[in-house]
Every structure is written in C-alpha cells, then in structure tokens.
Amino acid sequence: MKTILVPTDFSKCSLYGLDFARRIAEKKGATIHLFNAALTTSYYYASDPFVIAPPASVMSQSINESLKKNSRAGLQKISRMKSLSGVNVITHTEVTTNLHYEILDYADKIKADIIVMGTKGASNLKDILIGSTAERVARFSTRPVLVIPSPVKSDPRKIVFASDFTGEAYAIFPFIRRFSEIFGAEIYLLKVNTTQQFKPTGEDRKLIEKFKNKFGKNLNSEIYNDYMKEEGILNYSNQINADIIAIGTHGKKGLARFLKQNVSEGVIRLSSRPVLLVNLKKYKPKSDLI
C-alpha cells in the first residue's frame, strides 16, 4: 500500500483517521495525502443566473482564497505533528460546495489505495436521512474506505469479514486479507442469518467451506443468528472483541437505499469499531495494491 488519502475537517474525530493511517504508513512506507476541502457557498443572482456581477465575483474569489489560506495553514500545522515524524505527508486543499465529491475526485487523481476517514457517526434523524460525509464517501467510492469512529489505541488483531460468501465476496477478500497481513491480524468469516434472509445451516456451511478451500482452511468462521444483519455483525464483533469490521457494499443510491436493505451504511452508523468497506460492484483488484 503506497498511497493513503486522509480527508480532514480539522475536527478532533477527523484525526482518528490520520492516526490509523500513520500506523499503515509506518509499516508499509506509504505516503499520506492529507486533504481538506473547504466548504463554500453557491451564489445565485436573480437578475441573470448565468452572469455573476463583477463585485460579487471579486468577493467570491476573495472568500475562496481566504478559505484556502486558512486550510493550508491548518494542514501544515497537522503535518508537523510529532507523531508524523518520519512519515511522508503531502497536503492539498480545495474549495468546494460538495465535500464527498471533492474527496473522491482527489482520490482518483492520486490513485489512492485506500481512503481513511475519522467520523463521529450519525447523531440525529437528519444525519440518518442525509448521511455523513464519511458515509457518502464510502457509498460512492470505487476505492476501499476505512471509517474510524473513535481513537484506535493499538494495532488490530481481529478482523471480522461479514459476507454471504457468494461470487462478489471472492473479488474483494484478497484485499481484506492483505490488509490484515499489514498488522498480522486474524480474520473471522461471519455469515449472519435473519428470519427475513434465512438459509439452513448446512447450506451456509457449504458456502463457507468452499470459500475457505479457496483462501485458507485455517480461517476462523461463524454462522450467527440475529434479528437484523447489522445487529448480528455488531453483536458478534462485540462477542469476540474484534478490532475492525470488514464488509462489502453495493453503493445503493437514492430511493434504493430505503427500498432495499443496505447493511454497510447501518454498520457505519452504529459501530464503535473501525469499519472497512469495499465496493462489491466497482472495486477492481490490483495485484500490487498492497
């Protein structure tokens, strides 16, 4: 893993991601791209929606330059933190009206191997309906995203990979396994059954055994029953004291998010543990990714 993108809004929780990215960078000799997208206002003028009057245009440019200046100063201050000594850190700032789009666009420009984001998670109904910036990045990203909701005190030792262990899981698991190898962490394969999405234990065991035959007989595995998949993933992770939850996401948009179960977003909102998400449809494995 050579290129890590860490978006920050200078809040305390956004630095959770930076600290974890530092751990990866130190082990892999990777470069951290520390990025801030300063949020600005869209201007609209009723007299002519296609032309901004010169005074307003000048004012807008002045505001944007001021935002960039403050952003650069903040990024430079963070990059000089003692904990980052010896780590290659590149800083970059943009002014935007769309935070998650700017983050994803920059990730593509630098060909980021992973995006690591600290987040406070959803705290009210508005957050749940609209979604946090981290959640939007995870939903739309074609690159793996690691969401860190609280400070990580030590290197991960247990990673839960929650899946149905059908075709798409085979495409993303090599990344998850290589990620675990950075820290020497064990992987626990987890299949959650609910009353709405139920399979006989025998069928689930066959799926998991087939998966283990491909990736390693020594992998831990569990079939877990619960009322909802999110609850099952979180409850099992609590039971074994997992350090990270890894899960695939289909990146559902708009109304489809509410008409169909979107487990990954629910896990992000509810988990107090880091969550590693890989887009099942869009992720293209690279042999040299890690």
CATH (domain of 138): 3.40.50.620
Residues 213 and 81 reside in one and the same domain: no
Separation of alpha carbons 182 and 102, rounded Å: 29
| The pLDDT value given to residue 50 | 56
Query: Which helix (H) or strand (E) element contains residue 159?
Result: strand 158-162
Does residue 289 lie within any of the structural domains? no
| The pLDDT value given to residue 78 | 95
Q: Report the first-to-last Cα separation within the chain, whole angstroms.
A: 4
| The pLDDT value given to residue 258 | 36
Does residue 287 lie within any of the structural domains? no
Residue-wise over 178-196: b if at least 16 C-beta within 10 A, else e?
Answer: ebbebbebbbbbbbbbbee
Does residue 70 lie within any of the structural domains? yes
Query: In this predicted model, which residue has the larger pLDDT, 217 or 190?
Result: 190
Q: In what order do the strands lie in the sheet with 275-279?
A: 88-96, 31-39, 3-7, 114-118, 145-148, 275-279, 244-249, 158-162, 186-193, 220-225
| The pLDDT value given to residue 129 | 36
Separation of alpha carbons 211 and 214, rounded Å: 5
Does 23 have pLDDT greater than 90?
yes
Chosen domain end from 87, 117, 147: 147
The pTM score is 0.84
Query: In this predicted model, which residue has the larger pLDDT, 231 or 67?
Result: 231
Residues 194 and 76 reside in one and the same domain: no
Residues 158 and 143 reside in one and the same domain: no
Most confident listed range (69-83, 162-176, 232-246, 265-279): 232-246
pLDDT in tens, 38-68: 877 655 445 555 555 555 454 567 777 888 8
Residues 122 and 169 reside in one and the same domain: no
Chosen domain end from 147, 174, 206: 147
Count: domains in the chain: 2
Residues 208 and 108 reside in one and the same domain: no
Separation of alpha carbons 147 and 167, rounded Å: 25
Please state the rounded mean pLDDT for residues 63-75: 86
| The pLDDT value given to residue 168 | 86
| The pLDDT value given to residue 126 | 38
In one-letter notation, the amino acid at residue 128 is: I
Separation of alpha carbons 239 and 234, rounded Å: 9
Residue-wise over 141-161: b if at least 16 C-beta within 10 A, else e?
Answer: bebbbbbbbeebeeebebbbb
| The pLDDT value given to residue 188 | 97
Residues 120 and 226 reside in one and the same domain: no
Lowest mean pLDDT among 7-11, 131-135, 206-210, 267-271: 131-135
Q: Is 86 exposed, middle or buried (0-12, 13-18, 19+ CB in 10 A)?
A: exposed
Show the domain range for 275: 154-279
Lowest mean pLDDT among 118-122, 151-155, 185-189, 198-202: 118-122
pLDDT in tens, 235-254: 999 999 999 999 988 765 54
Chosen domain end from 132, 147, 162: 147
Residues 104 and 158 reside in one and the same domain: no
pLDDT in tens, 206-216: 999 999 999 99
Under 8 Å between Cβ of 157 and 185: yes
In the three-class reduction of DSSP (H, G, I as helix; E, B as strand; rest coil), residue 283 is classed as coil
| The pLDDT value given to residue 239 | 97
Query: Dihedral (C-alpha) 167, 169, 175, 176: value to the nearest 10 degrees?
Result: -160
| The pLDDT value given to residue 249 | 83
Under 8 Å between Cβ of 232 and 192: yes
Separation of alpha carbons 40 and 79, rounded Å: 24
Torsion-angle region of 118 (φ positive above 0: left; ψ -120 to 50: alpha; else: beta) = beta
pLDDT in tens, 180-195: 999 999 999 999 999 8
- Helix residue spans in the chain (DSSP H): 14-28, 54-79, 99-110, 125-130, 133-140, 167-183, 201-215, 229-239, 256-259, 263-270
Residues 135 and 211 reside in one and the same domain: no
